[in-house]
Amino acid sequence: MDFTYSEEQSLIADSLRRLLGGTCDRSTRKRILADGLDHNPGTWKALSELGLLGLPVAEAYDGIGGNAVDTMVAAIEFGQYLALEPFTASVVLGGGAIGLAGSEDQKRRYLPAIAGGAKKCSVALLEPGGRFDLGHVETTARTEGGTYRLYGRKSVAIGAPSADVLIVSARTGAFGSRSMEGLTLFLIPADAPGVTLQSYRLADGRSCAEITLQDAAVSIADVLGEENRAGPVIEHVADLGAAAYCAEALGALDRIIALTTDYLKVRTQFGRPIGEFQALQHQLAEMVIDAEHARSLVYEASMTVDGHDPERRRKAVSAAKVFLAERGRLICQKAMQMHGGIGMTEDYELGDYVKRVMVAELAFGDADHHLERYAASF
């Protein structure tokens, strides 16, 4: 497989390296978290000015019109620099959902604002007790004239604390609470009456929220896609997010390997750099091989996630998720082992990258979930 970037993709990567290298260093991230911010507003503004928030948005809606591979290129850089910006949450998931299912009016209303950074989205598809089952939806939407009334709870809504618009799934059809049938997506202002957010941070510092909907009113104009038939869109959006988080994990793993390589060159034992010991050389080689294998799977997932073959998309995304969950965790463990005690401390940046990989491992399904989904395709 050819991993060479196109000219446009190289420009995307170079632009992000220049920007994130100056605004996403460890001290800046710690200051942002200490100040209680969800991300760096200056970085978000710069991403908007560079046009990168419109990367996967169609040109008709003020975007760049890129594909999922272009998004992957950006996500790798966000993982490399541990950016806190809700790019995947707002642009990939939120913009992706509106692009897939939105009416022309909804696209014109939201996509230019997302691409320009004026509005941020968060997609809430999971619920307490449902683990990673997208069909586990007990949130209900009752119709009253031209209005829906939503009741229920949504969980692990990444980027919700800073979002302007929430996209939530609710059950509108007479189906069981574990079925992908009878589901509808709704666009809801984050500050709408009846919407309550309980904010918290994930292990890697990114913001997240549990959402309670208690008699939250939504007009028919804010139904995203077809009523009762949102199941395929929900699955597709989740796969878009899973592929992007896999790319972020890949970027973090690249940095973990680079940090480990540098450490083996400078840490001495018995008067020699420990990188000269064959046992550690072999472990590092295995880490590099696993990372390259992961790269091919992430590319495959990114190349198929935009397509119209849902079976191929599911297989590719699940394969990448399973491999990164299993081998990515092993890369992290080996890196920490070779760093010794310093690898376990909060003062050293290796742990920051490990946390990013661990969060990506669980985003939209862990290894067991995706193994089961992959097996179901045969």
Confidence of residue 35 (pLDDT cuts 50, 70, 90): very high
- Whether pLDDT at 258 is above 70: yes
Least confident of 248-252, 341-345, 372-376: 341-345
In eight-state DSSP terms, residue 26 is H
Contacts of 39 (CB under 8 A, 6+ apart): 32, 83, 84, 85, 86, 162, 207
pLDDT at 176: 62
Contacts of 284 (CB under 8 A, 6+ apart): 257, 260, 261, 264, 275, 334, 338
Number of domains, the chain = 3
**CB of 25 closer than 8 Å to CB of 70:** no
Q: Residue 370: enclosing H or E segment and its boundaries? A: helix 367-376
Q: Which of 82, 97, 119 marks a domain boundary?
A: 119
**101, 152: one domain:** no
Residue 1 domain flag: no
Q: Are residues 181 and 279 in the same domain?
A: no
Q: How far apart are CA 185 and CA 123, in angstroms?
A: 10
**Is 2 a domain residue?**
no
Does residue 65 surpass a pLDDT of 90? yes
| Residues of the domain holding 56 | 7-119
pLDDT for residue 349: 94
Q: What is the mean pLDDT of residues 1-21?
A: 92
Last residue of a domain, one of 104, 119, 134: 119
Residues 66 and 173 in one domain: no
Q: What is the CATH number of the domain that holds 223?
A: 2.40.110.10
User: Residues 201-229: pLDDT tens digits?
Assistant: 999 999 999 999 999 999 999 999 999 99
Task: Give the model confidence (pLDDT) of 150-161 as tens digits.
Answer: 999 999 999 999
Q: Are residues 135 and 172 in the same domain?
A: yes
Percent of the chain with pLDDT over 70: 99
- Which residue in 157, 132, 88, 159 sits closest to 366, CA to CA? 132
The span from the CA of 277 to the CA of 270, in Å, is 11
Quick one: 297 and 372 in the same domain? yes
- 315 contacts 377 by C-beta, under 8 angstroms: yes
DSSP 273-338: EGGGSHHHHHHHHHHHHHHHHHHHHHHHHHHHHTSS-HHHHHHHHHHHHHHIIIIIHHHHHHHHHH
Give the model's pLDDT for residue 364: 96
